Amino acid sequence: MNRLATEKFTSLVLDREGEGKRALITGLRGFTGHYMAQELTSAGYRVFGTVLPGEPTGPDVFTVDLCDRDAVLRAVEQVQPDVVVHLAGIAFVAHSNAELIYRVNIVGTRNLLEALAGARHQPSSVLLASSANIYGHVDVPVIDESMTPAPFNDYGVSKLAMEHMAQLWSDKLPIIIARPFNYTGVGQDANFLLPKIVSHFRSGARDIELGNLNIARDFSDVRVVAKAYRRLLALSPPGQAYNVCSGRAYSLRGILDTMAGIAGYDIDVRVNPAFVRASDVPTLVGSNRKLASVIGEIEATPLEDTLRWMYQA
């Protein structure tokens, strides 16, 4: 299909495609869950969500620890979703509890897939959030989906294992794998690099302690990521994996300069060994060609606009 035909097809399929359908978002109260719910609601879906014990509940919200198999079964049984976006999981790469990373990201996902496969009403799409971290140290400037994954930290291994485990369910469920590169926005936990930098500038701090300074990442805006996920649900055939990224590298030093421009002052940077990661890829940039070929072009938000949004929030 040429570009115009693809765009016409895309807008036809995406014309309130959720009308009358039920969407289940795991990790509804997480950073991405909030934007995903907005995106799916605006497309006409009735949105259900799982939240962790202790998080705020509400109508159509189920308090479920994904590691609790029976609780997952009960929630899926009640929702009978048409589409599923699985976001719940440990997302912080430097999380100190490796056992929890594996348990939640693999066993938690398995519980969900098992429950969905046994549901009376079969979903038409199940999107699993994996990660660009599955690629590990890849010796190419831009990573596409054909690269052999070689993760080098527990987080990356857990997400790759999740992908392999999901294949065991591929004859029963229409599974789509999203491999997001870095993304950010209002509401992201300050453990992550960009909210940490923005919050320092917002508070007027004159210095900041960081870890590895010579890194560059492919940052997207969370709202763009939510839009891409929604389009994948509607347009992707099952069994495919997609990089979700902007294709642009932003260096940490460049980001500090951009923030100085937004805030109107410079900040002193010190390296604190506590934040230095022993294994860290210097540059992580993805190709979004495969994604765009299926969902059409999504206009990328310039990182400066996202940082300004976060600074002014």
Q: Which residues bind ligand F7E (CB under 6 A)?
A: 91, 93, 131-133, 181-182, 191-193, 196, 210-212, 215, 217, 275, 277, 280
User: Min. distance of Cβ 119 from ligand F7E in angstroms?
Assistant: 28
**How many Å apart are CA 55 and CA 126, to the nearest integer?**
24
User: Min. distance of Cβ 128 from ligand F7E in angstroms?
Assistant: 13
User: Min. distance of Cβ 312 from ligand F7E in angstroms?
Assistant: 20
User: Min. distance of Cβ 276 from ligand F7E in angstroms?
Assistant: 7
Closer to ligand F7E by CB, 118 or 282: give it.
282
Beta-strand pair 268-271/220-221: unpaired
User: Min. distance of Cβ 91 from ligand F7E in angstroms?
Assistant: 4
Closer to ligand F7E by CB, 179 or 231: give it.
179
Closer to ligand F7E by CB, 6 or 199: give it.
199
Backbone φ and ψ of 291, nearest 5°: -60, -50
Q: What angle do CA 230, 232, 235 make, to 5 degrees?
A: 110
Closer to ligand F7E by CB, 1 or 190: give it.
190
Task: Convert 220-254 into a string of H (helix), E (strand) and C (coil).
Answer: EEHHHHHHHHHHHHHHCCCCCEEEECCCCCEEHHH
Closer to ligand F7E by CB, 62 or 155: give it.
155
Closer to ligand F7E by CB, 115 or 134: give it.
134
User: Min. distance of Cβ 215 from ligand F7E in angstroms?
Assistant: 4
- Integer angstrom CA distances of residue 28 from 32, 90, 111, 228: 8, 14, 17, 17
Closer to ligand F7E by CB, 193 or 235: give it.
193
**How many Å apart are CA 42 and CA 169, to the nearest integer?**
30
Q: Residue 243 is encoded by which pair of tokens? A: 């990089």
User: Min. distance of Cβ 189 from ligand F7E in angstroms?
Assistant: 9
Closer to ligand F7E by CB, 75 or 259: give it.
259
Residue with tokens 């491999």: 179
User: Min. distance of Cβ 42 from ligand F7E in angstroms?
Assistant: 24
Task: Name the residue among 258, 277, 280, 256 with its Cα closest to residue 197.
Answer: 256
